[in-house]
Chains A and B, each alone.
Chain A
Amino acid sequence: MSKHKQPLSFKAYGVCLELLGIEHLELVRTWRNHPDVRLFMCQKTLIDRQNQRQWFARLQTRDDQLFFIAYFQGIPVACANLKTPDTLPVLEHPCPESGFYLAPLTLRQSMLAFLPALAFHQMAFQKLNCQSLRAKVLAANQPALRFNRTLGYRDQPSSKTQSGYQTMMLTPGAHQQASIPFRRFHQELVYE
Chain B
Amino acid sequence: MNNQTKLITAFSESLAVEPSQVTDTLAYNSIPNWDSTAHMILVSTLESTFDILLDTDDIIDLSSVAKAKEILKKYGVSWP
Interface size class of A (residues with CB under 8 A): 10 to 19
Contact A110 B56 (CB under 8 A): no
Complex interface: stretch among B1-9, B17-25, B30-38, B67-75: B30-38
Contact B36 A110 (CB under 8 A): yes
Residues of chain B within 8 A (CB-CB) of A181 are: 40, 44
Docked pose: A109 CA to B1 CA in angstroms: 29
Q: Is the interface of B mostly helix, strand, loop or mixed?
A: helix
The reply on A107 being an interface residue by CB < 8 A is yes
> Chain A 95-125, CB within 8 Å of chain B: the 1/0 string?
0000000000001111111100000000000
Chain B interfacial residues counted at CB < 8 A: 16
The reply on A40 being an interface residue by CB < 8 A is no
The reply on B66 being an interface residue by CB < 8 A is no
CB neighbors of B among A157-183 (8 A):
181
Residues of chain B within 8 A (CB-CB) of A147 are: 35-37
Among the interface residues A14, A110, A112, A146, which one has the most CB atoms of the partner chain B within 10 A? A110
> Chain B 27-60, CB within 8 Å of chain A: the 1/0 string?
0110000111101100110000000010010011
Docked pose: A146 CA to B32 CA in angstroms: 13
Known: A114-B36, A147-B36. A109 touches B43 (CB 8 A): no
Residues of chain A within 8 A (CB-CB) of B36 are: 107-114, 147, 150
28 inter-chain pairs at a CB distance below 8 angstroms, sorted by A residue, are: A107-B36, A108-B35, A109-B28, A109-B29, A109-B34, A109-B36, A109-B39, A110-B36, A110-B39, A110-B59, A110-B60, A110-B62, A111-B36, A111-B37, A111-B39, A111-B43, A112-B56, A113-B36, A114-B36, A146-B35, A146-B37, A147-B36, A181-B40, A181-B44, A184-B53, A185-B56, A188-B56, A189-B56
Known A14-B56, A110-B63, A113-B36; further 12 A-B contacts with Cβ < 8 A: A108-B35, A108-B36, A111-B36, A111-B40, A111-B43, A111-B59, A114-B36, A114-B40, A146-B35, A146-B37, A150-B40, A189-B56
